[in-house]
Amino acid sequence: MLDLLSTITALPLADVIVKADRLRGISEPEVLALMEVMREFGHTTPIIVRRTKTGFVLVDGRHRLEAAIRLCLPEIPVRCYAMTDEDARMLEASQNLIGGMSPLDDAVFLAAWKRAYLQKHPETAGGVAGALAKNGLQANSSSFAEVVAAKRAVSVRQIQKIAAAGDRLTSGDLVRLRQAKSPATLKDIEIIGKLGSAEERSYVVTALVDGTAKSAGKAWRAWKARETGVEPPVKSRVDDEFAALSKVWTRASRAAKKRFCLEFARDIWDVQNRGAALTNWSEAEDK
């Protein structure tokens, strides 16, 4: 539990320190929208700061602070806490993750949450279930992932993949991806995060940023073709559908496969026999 310093409820804007290592910058449309809200209603939600030896450092509320600065307000309501660096990073990440962001920001903030959590609770770094349970962290960590997963309408496993991808992205990757003509998708981020070579990663990111490729997957295939001199096979819609059906079939249980065959026996027979009939007709025509 954080220690709330209840005697500090407002601060002059100049007293709030904004550190350079924040997880993301400001969004101009969001700042402008908040300025309009503040003109109408004033401050409705305090920002969160932490007291340090050097002063009061912003934890959450960057856009609200920027709007107040532009409106030349004398001070801003705050909730001030005493907290560690890890707590501050986790709180910054969690406040934004629960609200919802772009896939790229999701990856960045989830990775930051994960790193800070492991620094705060190093006993869980090995992923030992016993250590998690002993410290009462298993449910807490899981529940946070479940909240974020529910907000994104994805599985907890997918949230873990997003965090892993974000952990692999460099600061340079992030700066460039934010400049892309089209926002990077979750699939783009996962693919970029798996690339081992810096040159390979740079090629794919550049292709996304300048619009040469519509996806990281296509950019990566182009890289492979350039390096090997072999053009990747062009996939058709049938190829994609067959791959999807094959994936589901191989993962299904024997009972499910049996039920499927019984349910769709007529369709399977029809496809097989109609295909054979067409082949025989075509061969007869050729003769």
pLDDT digits (tens, 9 = 90+) for 199-222: 888 889 889 888 888 888 889 888
In this prediction, residue 139 carries a pLDDT of 42
In this prediction, residue 67 carries a pLDDT of 93
The mean pLDDT value of the chain amounts to: 80
Q: How far apart are CA 84 and CA 102, in angstroms?
A: 27
- Find out whether 18 and 47 touch, Cβ atoms under 8 Å: no
The answer on pLDDT for 142 being more than 70 is no
Which pLDDT band, with edges at 50, 70 and 90, does 143 fall under? low
Neighbours of 56 (CB within 10 A): 19
In this prediction, residue 176 carries a pLDDT of 86
Q: Kindly state the percentage of the chain with pLDDT values over 90.
A: 19
Which pLDDT band, with edges at 50, 70 and 90, does 132 fall under? very low
Of the two residues 282 and 91, the one the predictor is more confident about is 91
pLDDT, tens digit, for every residue of 10-46?
Answer: 999 999 999 998 887 888 888 888 888 888 888 888 9
Q: Is the pTM of this model over 0.75?
A: no
pLDDT, tens digit, for every residue of 78-101?
Answer: 999 999 999 998 888 887 776 666
Domain boundaries, the chain: 3-83, 85-124+133-168, 175-234, 236-265
**CATH code given to domain 3-83:** 3.90.1530.10
